[in-house]
Amino acid sequence: MDLGLMGLGFPVDPLVLLTFVPASLALNLTPGADMMFCAGQGLRAGPGAAWRASAGVALGGLIHATVAGLGVGGLVAAHPQALLAIRWIGAGYLLWMAWQILRAEGGQGPDLRPARPFRDGLLVNLTNPKVILFILAFVPQFLTPEAPVLGQFLVMGAVLSFGGLIVNGVAGALAGLLQARLGGGGVWLRRLSAGIFAGLALRLVWGAKG
């Protein structure tokens, strides 16, 4: 173990961190629910909304890592009913978002308040139990027993969240550019956005039955 930075209080072995960064980046680049969610936000309200949604998702991931580092994540993962409840809350919220978009076709337009995409990204991430299970399965592979567990979870969670912020933000912004080119997206882009959110909800429900 490299005692240089760790001797100065840095909780992660630099050599371990050098291994963790490319592994986490590869995972961030893999298309998944977070990327699709940010793309849906971009289609709904443009690149700015996609970046704000990505920031909300990233904060949610950091909160998950903190909870896991405190040992609470393992407690939740050990109780299937808790995971089931979180899953259904997340699916319900995604369906509600899809319904709000479809309702806006009457001429009101989507809710474009700046804080809305960030809030939605945060809540969708926090109510996705797969994130809890993923962090508990992935991060411990890189932990050093001699160092504080919480500090290591925080550093690695920050790396994962920052990578996700950039990758998901870029994916959502590209979708948002399409929306902008079409002069606000039109009815079909809004329906596509609603379909993405509904599909993510069904994915969560299907996982609950698996």
* Cβ neighbours of 191 (radius 10 Å): 16
Per-residue pLDDT band for 108 (boundaries 50, 70, 90) equals very low
Give the Cα separation of 52 and 72 in Å (integer): 28
For the chain, the structural domain boundaries read: 15-209
Per-residue pLDDT band for 210 (boundaries 50, 70, 90) equals very low
What are the pLDDT digits (tens) for 109-124?
455 566 788 998 998 8
Give the Cα separation of 162 and 168 in Å (integer): 10
pTM score over 0.75: no
Mean pLDDT of the chain: 77
- Per the model's pLDDT, the better-predicted residue between 87 and 126 turns out to be 126
Has residue 107 got a pLDDT over 70? no
| Listed range (58-62, 185-189, 199-203) with the worst mean pLDDT | 185-189
Has residue 167 got a pLDDT over 70? yes
Per-residue pLDDT band for 170 (boundaries 50, 70, 90) equals very high
pLDDT at 1: 44
Give the Cα separation of 150 and 72 in Å (integer): 11
pLDDT at 50: 92
Give the Cα separation of 204 and 43 in Å (integer): 21
